[in-house]
């Protein structure tokens, strides 16, 4: 997968809600009724519904705006605060005084959901709200790369509003992606694509999907009846089916599934983000599979960052090594995330001109001292100052790519300076690793890292010796 460095501007329209969690343990049954007693130890609240789509987009790095309808209540205030916390403007939220903002509360005992209760309004929004949304959209439509309609059946995306949105978007060639609800998909006619799961697709088409033939038939019905550019059906552990002229199934890449809450939100957000980075629909679905593979391994409505996706793809041996070569700014941001996640960061540096077994063993041992190994690589100009005008043999880009492809190396950063001190200041590694020849010497960055580890080199293995042998062979051949 190529590096996704664009930040597409995506508008989300749909049903916003709060996903509320009560976390605790259970070790006894109530004497009052045959129910579990949960000792609640903590409480948390996150954006849910269309808000979870927003969370996923923000985590990926998209620029996000939202249009929705909420009530004049405390839950709406809480929802606005959560949006502001992730820098998503709330100025396009329409208030209906008689409406109750959606809040879903889940009771989690020992990592298992045991109960959910909802407080919300599910009536259609009124005509004034409809007009307000259309006016806002018409005035800002040119800003967006795409629009996601996140329909949770709570009354925001009425049939009339949905059709009006799609018509306006199509007029300006803006793709509309829909996470549908209900059995009648005619309200979504003219959108770019829908992302129903298998059960939803069966209900909408009245076709039981039991094999490839019935899957093609259901996909065709959705495409033709809804006038879609491409038809998608998510197939849980089997992956995602794509139908334009032919059927393609992109297999899932999830290792472990703990909770599928919000996985559909992750899929549609990831597809929109990838399309905004100029990926094809096939490539975008593959990207969405990687994102979903991460979030189903987490509890609750979760998200996946680009770095998590690159790392996950890398761990599946499908990653492009370029994704693991970082700039100073990128590695600084990444290091902050790694520290916040409690990861133990290991740092080492060097020229690594002609890679040999000594290098590989050195890096494998370095990685063993922590969770993430970041390698500072001397730029060509830096190598020349250290090794002479005839070095390096391989360019910095070639050296970086080869090193990034090693299983032991998580990230590579090229630095121009003679020493990596400024880079080490940005990363703040827990462990600094250098070769055994630094025994008794002062090591650059030692004052920043928590500890220093010295790794002994493999006897007789060095770039200098390799070059010498090559030169000797050339003399013999001449």
Give CA–CA dist 274/281, Å, rounded: 8
**Dihedral (CA of 350, 353, 357, 358) sign:** negative
265 among known catalytic residues: yes
List the catalytic residue out of 259, 265, 307, 410.
Answer: 265
Backbone angle region of 368, left / alpha / beta, with phi > 0 → left and psi within -120 to 50 → alpha? alpha
Please state, as a whole number, how many other Cβ atoms lie within 10 Å of the Cβ of residue 449.
Answer: 20
- Return the active site residues: 265
């Amino acid at each position: 997968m190529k590096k996704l460095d664009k930040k597409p501007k995506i508008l989300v329209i749909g049903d916003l809600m709060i996903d509320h969690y009560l976390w605790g343990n259970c070790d006894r049954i109530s004497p009052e009724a045959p129910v579990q007693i949960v000792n609640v130890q903590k409480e948390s609240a996150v954006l849910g519904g269309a808000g979870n789509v927003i969370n996923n987009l923000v985590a990926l790095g998209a620029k996000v705006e939202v249009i929705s309808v909420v009530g004049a209540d405390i839950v709406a205030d809480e929802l606005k605060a959560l949006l502001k916390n992730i820098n998503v403007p709330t100025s396009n939220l329409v208030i209906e005084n008689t409406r109750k903002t959606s809040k879903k509360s889940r009771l989690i005992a020992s990592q298992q959901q045991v109960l959910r209760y909802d407080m919300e309004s599910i009536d259609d929004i009124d005509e004034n709200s409809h007009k307000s949304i259309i006016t806002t959209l018409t005035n800002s439509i040119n800003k967006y790369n795409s629009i996601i309609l996140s329909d949770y059946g709570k009354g925001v995306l009425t049939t009339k509003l949905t059709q009006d949105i799609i018509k306006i978007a199509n007029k300006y060639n803006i793709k509309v992606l829909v996470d549908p609800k209900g059995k009648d998909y005619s309200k979504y006619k003219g959108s770019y694509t829908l992302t129903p799961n298998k059960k939803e697709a069966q209900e909408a088409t009245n076709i039981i999907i039991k094999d490839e033939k019935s899957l093609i038939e259901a996909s065709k019905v959705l495409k033709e009846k809804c006038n879609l550019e491409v038809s998608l059906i998510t197939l849980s552990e089997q992956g995602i089916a794509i139908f334009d002229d032919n059927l393609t199934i992109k297999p899932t890449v999830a290792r472990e599934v703990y909770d599928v809450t919000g996985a559909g939100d992750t899929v549609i957000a990831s597809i929109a983000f990838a399309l905004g980075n100029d990926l094809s629909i096939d490539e975008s679905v593959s990207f969405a599979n990687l994102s979903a593979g991460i979030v189903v391994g987490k509890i609750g409505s979760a998200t996946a960052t680009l770095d998590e996706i690159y790392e996950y793809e890398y761990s599946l041996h499908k990653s492009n090594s370029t994704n693991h070569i970082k700039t100073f700014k990128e590695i600084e941001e990444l290091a902050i995330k790694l520290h916040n996640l409690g990861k133990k960061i290991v740092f080492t540096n060097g020229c690594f001109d002609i890679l040999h077994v000594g290098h590989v063993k050195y890096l494998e041992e370095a990685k063993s001292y922590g969770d993430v190994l970041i390698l500072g690589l001397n730029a060509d100009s830096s190598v020349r100052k250290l090794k002479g005008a005839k070095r390096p043999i391989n360019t910095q880009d070639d050296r970086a790519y080869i090193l990034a492809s090693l299983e032991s190396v998580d990230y590579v950063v090229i630095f121009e300076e003679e020493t990596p001190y400024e880079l080490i200041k940005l990363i703040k590694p827990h462990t600094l690793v250098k070769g055994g020849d630094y025994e008794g010497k002062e090591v650059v960055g030692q004052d920043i890292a928590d500890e220093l580890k010295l790794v002994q080199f493999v006897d007789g293995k060095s770039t200098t010796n390799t070059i010498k042998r090559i030169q000797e062979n050339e003399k013999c051949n001449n």
